Each structure stands twice: as C-alpha cells, then as structure tokens.
Structure 1
Amino acid sequence: MSIADTVLRAQRITKQVSSPEGTLTILAEVDLAIAAGETVAIIGASGAGKSTLLALLAGLDEPSSGQVWLNGAELTALNEDGRAAVRARHVGFVFQSFHLVPSLTAIENVMLPLELAGQRNAREAAADVLAKVNLAARREHYPRQLSGGEQQRVAIARAFVTRPALLFADEPTGNLDAATGERIIELLFDLNRAAQTTLVVVTHDPAIARRCGRTIRIDAGRIVPAA
C-alpha cells in the first residue's frame, strides 16, 4: 500500500492514563495503515483497547505519543478545533448509543452536520438519504417516537449524508436485538458499498468482522495476528 493510497495511518501510537495503581498503558506503539475504500474490523476482548484506538484514529482523543494522519491531515499536529474541522470535512460516525438530538426530528438530526458545514440544500439531501434507509415516512418523528432500529437508521443516514471519506462505527448493533442488528449491518454495508467509503468498525461480533475485507485484532493494547 503506497502512502498515496492510504486514507488513515497511525505510527507508534501509545495511550497512557494515570490510575491509583500508577500509569496504565491502554495502547502500546500501534502501527497501522488503511487504504481508501477498505472495510476493516477492529476486534478483541472487552478492555483490549478497541474503542480507544478508534477514538485516536478519528481524532476524538489524543495519543500520549505517536502520530495519526487522516486523509492527509496530521491529526496529532492539530488542536481540538483543528481536529474537529478535519472530522467535519472527512468523517462520519455511528455509535452503539445513537447520539441523536432528542429535540430534533429525524430529518433535522440528519440535516445537522450539513447545516453546521453551511450547506444550503441540507433538507433535500437529508430527505434523500432518509429515503435510502427506508425512513421517508418517519422523517418528522422525534427520536422518542422511533424504535431502536429506526434511531440507528437515522444515525446511519446522518453519518452518510456528508459523503465522508471515512466512516467509523463503534459497536453499531450493541443496543439492538439480533434480528434488528442484522438488518442494520446489512444496511450499513450496502450504503458503504454504494458510497465507496472507507469503513472502520469496532465489533465483538464475528459475523460483522467476517463481512469486512480485513480484521485487526487488539490484545492488551497491541495489534496481534488475527485468529
């Protein structure tokens, strides 16, 4: 993989935090590179460092040492405002908790990142992507009026509406029953194929990992060979 093809790269990233027992190392000198258009699963036991790695790769957190580049921008050389600007331009997120704004309707939640970016056609674009996730009839409903699966579909629509270069998903089916989770994953991968987005998904579900083109296993803060 050449540097030109690489949309996400981490070099020797380490994350340490203070604890009553002393310094705790959550991640230790992790190197990885992800090419444009790849689908990558990050797997490992609870507490292995998966979500911490995703947060560092997305610029939601800063490593104690090491460097991260996202779509050509060195996140580790930027302050929080700079990292937020890179995320707004290039990144979409889908979380286990849906993170919808309860006072906004479905379409307003999807419009939000477009409006923050100053795009004029936010309502039309949001309506289009809500139709793609089969929620056109529910677009004026508030999150409390939607099922868990419908709320996650709104969150997926919001993630894709900005046409991100990268989509990060952290346990996207963790709060859903098995049948609903399966439908959500089908939808996520279908939209991802259509948009040709790079997908990085943290999961404990082997079925989700198998759908990805590559699997990265984290154990005790280090990348180890995938089983």
Structure 2
Amino acid sequence: MSDNVIIARHLSKVVSSSEAELTILDNVSLQITRGSSVAILGASGSGKSTLLSLLAGLDLPSGGEVELAGKVLNDLDEDQRAALRGAQVGFVFQSFQLLDSLTALENVMLPLELAGRRDARQRAAELLDRVGLAARTSHYPQQLSGGEQQRVAIARAFASEPAILFADEPTGNLDAATGERITDLLFELNREQQTTLVLVTHDARLAERCSSALHMQAGKLLEPAL
C-alpha cells in the first residue's frame, strides 16, 4: 500500500463568468503522506479552500486528477465519491455546521448511525467526554459557546475514525485561547488515531505545528509537500 493517502496531479480549476474565465487553481500537484499533518497557507483568494474541496472530492477539477485513499476521484460518480468520503473522510469547518435540531450527542451520533454502527450512542458519548463535553451532551448548538460547538464538530469528525480529516479554518471563529485548545485537540486526535490532517488556515502558529506546509499564491503552489 502506498504511503501517500492523497495525490493530486496537475489540478486546475477554471470558472466562467459573463466577463471572462477565472483560473482559481493552476497546475497544482502534491502528495500527502498517510498519518501526516499538512497546513495549506495563503492569502484570501489564493485558492486554498478550492484546493481543499478538490482534494476531498466535494468538487471536481477542470483539469488533472485527485487520488484519495487509492481511488481516482475523476473515475467515480457522485454517489461513489460520497460513499468514499463517508468511509474515509472527516470534516471540520469554520462555521461548525452542526444541525440545530439535534443535541450535541445526536450530532455526533449521526454519522455513526448512517454507517450502521450499533454502538453509535456509546461511541458518541465517549467522544464528547474526550473533548470535555460530557456534561453538555443534551444541549442544542444554540445553547453552546463557539468553542463548545467546534468541539462537538471535532467529535463528530472523528466519530467514524476517518483516515483523513480536512479542516477549513477550524479556529477562524474562535478567540485565541479557545482556538489554542481546539488546535491541541485536533493534534491529540491526529496522533492517537493516526488520522491524516489537512488544514486550511491563516494561523501561522497552527501551521508551525504541522509536519509540512503548502503555500498557495494566485492559484499556484509555491512549495511542494514534504
């Protein structure tokens, strides 16, 4: 089995508007090693989030291809890509993306139930305890602080023990102290579960904790993955 869990080959992403075509990504190639932690850095508009979306199979490139967990995403239809993400991938977003109608426990249980796990409730409770929210399992998102909501999101992301976790500005909506705790938690779970961690971030301190960094500028990759 290859040590590379993600391989991108000559990725491009071009979108058309009424005025002209806009190149968001331009010939990006990279490899990310299983179990590593990689930061994607760059100014707003440099293509970071678009790259993350393509690597995760949430969108398809205009040119080139992505190989994720041994599967070439271009060769899969939308349902197959969704199934691959469900089996291999977790997500943490800046906006948390919790379901307001579900409690913290139910939000974490959801991916486990969708996967048919009979121990969904027990596993979800264990993870919420792991992220320090054992006393908040019955609370709804609107009853939780931003930091608590992000911890629920992290527990949900790790619930199915994904091979890869994609995080898009995971500390962007948090104060510095809370962001530091969230960062500690991400890296603890990365080490414990050997989950490959791919982070889009503006935070240089967060990037410094990763095993390598990718620098984006105007849709191009300035430094290859280590």
Instruction: Compute the TM-score of the two structures, normalised by the length of structure 1.
Output: 0.97
- Residue 32 of structure 2: aligned partner: 34
Q: Tell me the residue number matched to 1:18.
A: 16
TM superposition outliers: structure 1 runs of 4+ over 4 Å? none
Picking from 97, 104, 113, the partner of 2:95 is 97
How big is each residue's C-alpha offset from its partner over 1:155-213, in whole Å with a ceiling of 9 and x where there is no partner?
00000010000000000011111111111111111111111110000001100000000
Q: Partners of 1:225 and 1:55 in 2: how far apart?
A: 19
Q: Structure 1 vs Structure 2: percent identity of aligned residues? A: 64
Partner of 2:115: 117
1:174 to 172, 175, 198: 172
**How much has 1:65 moved relative to structure 2?**
1.1
Q: Matches of 1:153 and 1:35 in 2, distance apart?
A: 26
The aligned residue for residue 79 of structure 2 is 81
Q: How far apart, CA to CA, are the structure 1 residues paired with 2:185 and 2:115? A: 26
- Return the alpha-carbon distance in structure 1 between the equivalents of residues 16 and 36 of structure 2: 35
Alignment partner of 2:161: what SS? coil
The residue type paired with residue 88 of structure 2 is H
Query: 2:214: which partner in 1?
Result: 216
Q: Distance in 1 between matches of 2:218 and 2:19?
A: 17
Alignment of 1:97-176 (within 5 A): 97-176=95-174
Q: Please give the alpha-carbon distance, in whole angstroms, between the structure 1 residues aligned to 2:129 and 2:204.
A: 30
How many residues are aligned here? 224
* Separation (CA, whole Å) in 2 of partners of 1:4 and 1:190: 24
Query: Structure 1: which 5+ residue stretches go unaligned?
Result: none
Alpha-carbon distance between aligned partners in 2 of 1:129 and 1:78, rounded to the nearest angstrom: 32
Structure 2 length as normaliser, TM-score? 0.97
Q: Which residue of 2 aligns with 1:65?
A: 63
Output one character per residue of 1:19-47: Cα deviation in whole Å (capped at 9) or x when no partner.
23211000011100001011000000000
Instruction: State the partner residue of 1:5.
Output: 3
